[in-house]
């Protein structure tokens, strides 16, 4: 199952619940591509929800122009089947050594 979400709206009342519910409704999610041009920072709850699919995700692409803390990515050490990981337009802050903990099969 593949899920691709592209969010371009600048509606300020939109929240991440719709995206979280879409992720939650998927079974055996193998490929996830998220692109957000809205200016809203939804990447944190999305990554936390994706941990529920850590056993099945093989390809993960996240794209958003924002700054995020590297500590958020410590979750990826449990993504055992992850073969492709892509971050676009992020500015990473914090302890960059955590990236060395991400292992690919």
**Residue 15's pLDDT band (cuts 50, 70, 90):** low
Are the C-beta atoms of 33 and 1 separated by less than 8 Å? no
Whole-prediction pTM value? 0.74
Cβ atoms within 10 A of the Cβ of 59, count? Answer: 15
**Which alpha helices (DSSP H) does 6-79 contain, by range?**
17-25, 43-50
Query: Tell me: the pLDDT tens digits for 25-65?
Result: 888 888 888 888 777 778 888 888 888 888 899 999 888 88
Domain tally, the chain: 1
For 57-93, write each residue's pLDDT tens digit: 999 988 888 888 877 777 677 788 889 888 888 887 8
- Cite the beta strand spans of the chain per DSSP E: 2-7, 31-36, 59-69, 84-93
Q: Which domain holds residue 52?
A: 2-101
């Amino acid at each position: 199952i593949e899920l691709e979400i592209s969010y371009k709206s600048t509606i300020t009342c939109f929240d991440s619940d719709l995206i979280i519910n879409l992720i939650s409704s998927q079974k055996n999610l193998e490929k996830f591509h998220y692109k957000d041009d809205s200016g809203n920072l939804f990447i944190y709850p999305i990554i936390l929800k994706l941990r529920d699919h850590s056993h099945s995700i093989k390809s993960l692409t996240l794209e958003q122009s924002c700054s995020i803390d590297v500590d958020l990515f410590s979750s990826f050490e449990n993504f055992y089947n992850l073969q492709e990981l892509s971050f676009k337009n992020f500015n990473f802050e914090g302890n960059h050594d955590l990236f060395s903990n991400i292992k690919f099969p």
